[in-house]
Structure formats: structure tokens, C-alpha cells
Structure 1
Amino acid sequence: MTHTSTLDRAATAFATLGPVGHLPKAPGTWGSAVAVIAAPFLFLPFSPLTRCIILAALFVVGGLASGRAETVIGSKDPGCVIIDEVLGQWMVFALFPIMTTWQILLGFALFRLFDITKPWPVHSAETWLPGGFGVMIDDLLAGCYAALCMWGARHAYLAWIAPMMH
């Protein structure tokens, strides 16, 4: 990265969350952890509609930055590019009006499960879109799977467990 422009350096820094993407071992987990820590301040205070707008903007800006970072780094979907983890992790929380600490931790675990195991069609989704947008889409889908599981767990709790506790 010695002959890069300011825009290249900014895009790469955004895509890697600065130094976080370069931490040793499991950069995706580090990226998800940053997303979880930042969510109560930068994402959860907003309405579900505003959160969806934030996700759309993050998809576009993250896709552009990830594509630029791929070019600068010289690798397709390099492990240090972790802005996609923020998108996927926040997708898990997007439609829940209120999140408890336990729900946030469950959402973290579920997102990591689906991001790592990549069930159909998460695994092939990266090929659907070009460049950095392909990097972003598979994590968005993993986040959707995790969100569905969160809705199911919430429904089961409200329907069966909560009534037994009263």
C-alpha cells in the first residue's frame, strides 16, 4: 500500500475498521464485536425505519470501500475487510424496537454462527454482485438468518416461557 491515494487509504481504513481488521486471529469476530459495542450508540437509538436507511447506506458505502480495499490489498474478500460484519451484525438488530443485553449477545452468537457456517444461499451470495458488494451481501444474508432466529426465539419466549413465569 505504498503508492496509494488518500481515497484508497480512507476506503481501506473504513473497510478494515482501521486497525481492528488487522488484529490477530478471527478478524470477522473482532468486527462483529465492534459492531455490537457500537450498536447501542450508533444504531439502536434510532427507529427501525432509520436503521434500515443506515443499513442501506452502509451497504453502499461499505461495498464501495470494500471493492477499493480489494484492489489496494490485491486480494478478493481479504480477511482484514470487516465492514461487512458491521452490516450483518446490525441487520440482526434492525427490526427490534428494544434490545436487552441478553438479546444483543444472542444476536452476536447467531450472526457469527451463520457467518461462519454460511448455509445456503449465504455461501454463494458473494458471487451474485460484483466487487465489494459481493463482500457485503453474504453477511447481510447471514444477518437475516440470525434475525429470523431472534424473532423465533422472542416469539417462543413470549408465547410459552413468559406466561409460565407469572
Structure 2
Amino acid sequence: MNRAPKTVWRNPVHFLAFGLGSGAAPWAPGTVGTVAAMILYWGVGHLPLSLYGLFLAVTFIFGCWLCERTSADLGVHDHSGIVWDEFVGYWITMWAMPVQFSWMLLGFVLFRLFDIWKPWPIRWIDRRVDGGFGIMFDDVLAGIYAAVIMQACYLIWH
């Protein structure tokens, strides 16, 4: 069971790192965090691609700091409740995809599959790269893997 520290509700940095509190879910915080990212995608998915790319860059860079800081404060590298990395990974998955529930659901399934499965080099990076960058980067790669499949599906079915 996931135990979220009380600081999640008092510290704005921890609150963001815990995905607006979604990472405090007692079970499957990564999955719950990805659902929260889906909801937020509904708002940002309509951005022009150039602004969406900027959004991804900013949320990734900010996320490296956010996850590093929260991990250091909690004394736990990549606490299971830190789900900002799932937010960014899911948003990468959804690059240039329509804001439609069916595509969002497929993106959710593919991203969670790659995030949990961690095919090479994701697992290698997850085990060897420390700090906020390490917390973020394995989910970025999972998002890229999922995005490639999403784009192929879009080309085939659209």
C-alpha cells in the first residue's frame, strides 16, 4: 500500500510532484496519476503543436526539479506517489493526437504498458540514472515508445 506523506497536502512542491494529489491514491498511484494526466490533456491537447511542444519542454524541465526536490525532502528516490513523471510521459504519448476519448484511452493503455513493462533501455535507465532527471526520463521514453505506436495507429485508422 502507498503511504503519502502529509506534506503532500501542505507543501505546494510535493502537491505538484504527487500529481495534484493523485499520487496519494492508496493503490496504483501511477495509474491514478495517469488518469489525472488524461483529464488535464483534455485542456492542453487543443494547443497548436508548437505551443504543445513548449508545454512538454517546460513540464519536463520543471518536473526534473520538482521530482528531485520532493525526493530529497522525503528521503526516498522516486517515491511511488511522485507521479509528475506519469503526467509528462502521458502527454508525450498524446503528441499530435486528437482530443477524443478513444485516442486518449488508447494512449493511457499504451503508456501504462510501457511504463510498467519498461523494455530496454527504459529499465536500464530507471535503475541507473538518479535524481529528478532519472525519475522523469524513463517515463519520457515510455511516452515516446507509446507515441510511436499511437502515430502508427492514427495513420492506419484515420
With the length of structure 1 as denominator, give the TM-score of the two structures: 0.84
C-alpha distance in 1 between matches for 2:31 and 2:42: 18
* Cα deviation, residue 128, structure 1: 6.3
1:10 maps onto 2:26 in alignment? no
Matching residue's letter, 2:93:
V
Q: Per-residue deviation at 1:80?
A: 0.6
CA-to-aligned-CA distance 1:18-73 (integer Å, 9 cap, x gap): 431111110000110000011111x1120111111111101111110100111111
Match of 1:70 in 2: 71
SS in 1 for 2:11: helix
State the alpha-carbon separation in 2 of the partners of residues 46 and 156 from structure 1.
24
Other-structure match for 1:163: none
User: 22, 29, 32: which is aligned to 2:31?
Assistant: 29
In structure 2, the residue matched to 1:59 is 60
Q: CA deviation at 1:130?
A: 4.1
2:42/2:99 contact within 8 Å kept: no
The residue identity in structure 1 corresponding to 2:65 is L
Q: Could you tell me which residue of structure 1 aligns to residue 92 of structure 2?
A: 91
Task: State the structure with more CA Rg.
Answer: 1
* Cα distance in 2 for residues equivalent to 1:124 and 1:60: 21
Q: CA RMSD in A?
A: 1.9
Cα distance in 1 for partners of 2:23, 2:131 equals 18
Gaps of 5+ in 1: 159-166
What is the CA–CA distance in structure 2 between the aligned matches of 1:127 and 1:55, rounded to whole Å? Answer: 24
Q: 3-state SS of the aligned residue for 1:126?
A: helix
- Where does structure 2 lack aligned partners over 5 or more consecutive residues? none
- CA distance, structure 1, for counterparts of residue 96 and residue 21 of structure 2: 30
Output the amino acid matched with 1:133.
F
Distance 2:96 2:57 in 1: 14
